[in-house]
Amino acid sequence: MEHIQHTPARVAKAPTRLLDGLQRWLPKLVVAPTFVLVGIGIYAFMIWTGVLSFTSSSFLPVYDFVGFDQYAKLMDNDRWLTASVNLGIFGGLFILCCLVIGVVLAIFLDQKIRQEGALRTIYLYPMALSMIVTGTVWKWILNPSLGLEKLMHDWGWSSFSFDWLVNSDMAIYTIVIAAVWQASGFVMALFLAGLRGVDSAIIRAARVDGASLPRIYWSIILPSLRPVFFSAVMVLAHIAIKSFDLVMAMTAGGPGYSTDLPAVFMYTHSFTRGQMGLGSASAMLMLGAILALLVPYLYSELRGKRHD
């Protein structure tokens, strides 16, 4: 009789244990396909690219390992050296200009001006466009026979000249102009969020002490936004290192290869020039550059959370 009384309780516990197990495993089952795709589509191909960089692969992968020969060839390649110099010019100007414009726009919007929402939308709009669209538009604007120069000539300013897009010495700066136009609004949004988080009591106290508004921003507010500066530099540097579609849309690396960046070099040699081993070596150097930026950033973030 006692056995009969306890049987319904055990039967009731069975579905409960089943539901508990399902609730525990369901989130893992849901995210498992994503982890598999990321593991294969990103990390597995990164390892494969690293393997190919130590081979003499040309049009198709081969696995005759040649050590660091591809890296030695890369260091002696004039086109790679040009791409590396261009990355320094493009990355430095791109990061600096985006930071300056972004900070100025953020301070301007922080003054509680009218139509702030509309202006913020206008400044952020370029970020909604793809790099291909941005590159195509700026290619039209800077084309001497179609854009700004032709417009000035049509208005009667016949001596006006702006042929940077077809000038091998200046073409890289047209890439900078287009990239800054697209990314400065994003930097503005980062700094505006940081400015809105500053305690207004600090500003009021500084005003009481007689400090001017520019002095308050320069000496008090902006130094307190060092984490925002650091994050913005990391994001912009990552964009600069992997820039590809903007260059292809505007100049395709030309004139000649004067606007080549490492990503363009990697694509050209891997998929159009039949030098997959050399292209893989350049890809690994790009990965190393990104990791050199990312690892210190992650270390500082994790250390800061540990201290908190």
Q: Which residue has the tokens 């001006």?
A: 113
Per-residue pLDDT in tens (0 to 9) along the chain, 308 residues: 444 445 555 555 556 777 777 777 777 778 888 888 888 888 898 999 999 999 998 888 888 899 899 999 999 999 999 999 999 999 999 999 999 999 999 988 888 777 878 888 888 888 888 899 999 999 999 998 888 888 898 898 888 888 899 899 999 999 999 999 999 999 999 999 888 888 778 778 887 877 788 888 888 888 888 888 988 998 899 899 989 999 999 998 888 889 999 999 999 998 888 899 999 999 999 999 888 888 887 787 777 666 66
CA 220 vs CA 47, 60, 192, 217: distances in Å: 46, 58, 15, 6
The single residue listed with the structure tokens 């020039």 is 273
pTM: 0.84
Please name the residue that has the structure tokens 């305690």.
199
Residue 259 contacts residue 179 (beta carbons within 8 Å):
no
DSSP type of residue 58: S
pLDDT, residue 14, reads 58
Task: Count, in order, helices (H) and strands (E) of the chain.
Answer: 14, 0
The amino acid at 24: R
pLDDT of res. 81: 94
Dihedral (C-alpha) 102, 105, 109, 111: value to the nearest 10 degrees? 110
Q: Which residues pair with 65 in a beta bridge?
A: 55
Closest residue by Cα to residue 163 from 180, 136, 143 = 143
Structure token digits, residue 203:
């500003």
Domains of the chain (ranges; CATH) run 76-307 (1.10.3720.10)
In whole angstroms, give the CA distance from residue 273 to residue 270. Answer: 6
